[in-house]
């Protein structure tokens, strides 16, 4: 028996040893990939709106804090879209008085 013949037996042996159905394994991998994709959240850019003391979110909504901003309030994810919150770089630059 040469190597390629032995290799052809590997899936069957694995199936016998572990009780795996190879088609089920493929389905499992596919559903895992879907779950991983769900975990890979989009980013939501929040732009500070000085006039209204709130943030405009890139998902088309807004959010305001009683005190301070995104980092000070420990906000990591957008309550509207679930995306990872990124403060707009320009807005963050304006607010450099606490450095
Ligand atoms: Zn959002």
Encode pLDDT of 38-58 as tens digits.
777 789 999 998 888 899 999
Give the residue numbers spanning the domain of 54.
Answer: 43-94
Ion ligand 1 residue ranges (Cβ < 5 Å): 44, 57, 59, 78, 80-81, 83
User: Does 99 reside within a domain?
Assistant: no
Q: Separation of 85 CA from ligand 1 center, angstroms?
A: 7
> Both tokens of residue 56?
């405009």
Q: Does residue 29 sit in the same domain as residue 47? A: no
**72-86 burial, b for 16+ CB within 10 Å, e for fewer?**
eeebeebeebebebe
Pairwise pLDDT comparison (68 vs 93), residue with the higher score: 68
**48 and 89 share one domain:** yes
Residue 96 has a pLDDT of 47
Query: Domain check: are 35 and 47 in the same one?
Result: no
Domains contained in the chain, number: 2
Q: Between 3-18 and 22-39, two packed helices, what is the crossing angle to 10 degrees?
A: 80
What distance in angstroms lies between residue 82's CA and the mean position of ligand 1's atoms? 6
65 and 90 fall within a common domain: yes
E strand spans, 14-95: 43-49, 54-57, 62-63, 84-87
Q: Which of 12-21, 23-32, 46-55, 67-76 has the lowest mean pLDDT?
A: 12-21
pLDDT score for 94: 52
Is the full-model pTM beyond 0.75? no
């Amino acid at each position: 028996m040469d190597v390629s013949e032995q290799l052809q037996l590997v899936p069957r042996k694995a199936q016998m040893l572990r009780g795996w159905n190879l088609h089920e394994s493929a389905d499992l991998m596919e559903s895992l990939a879907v779950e991983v994709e769900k975990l890979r959240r989009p980013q939501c850019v929040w732009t500070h709106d000085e006039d209204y003391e709130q943030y405009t979110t890139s998902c088309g909504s807004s959010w305001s804090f009683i005190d301070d901003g995104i980092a000070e309030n420990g906000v990591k994810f957008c309550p509207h879209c679930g995306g990872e919150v990124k403060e707009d770089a320009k807005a963050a630059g304006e607010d450099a008085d606490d450095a």
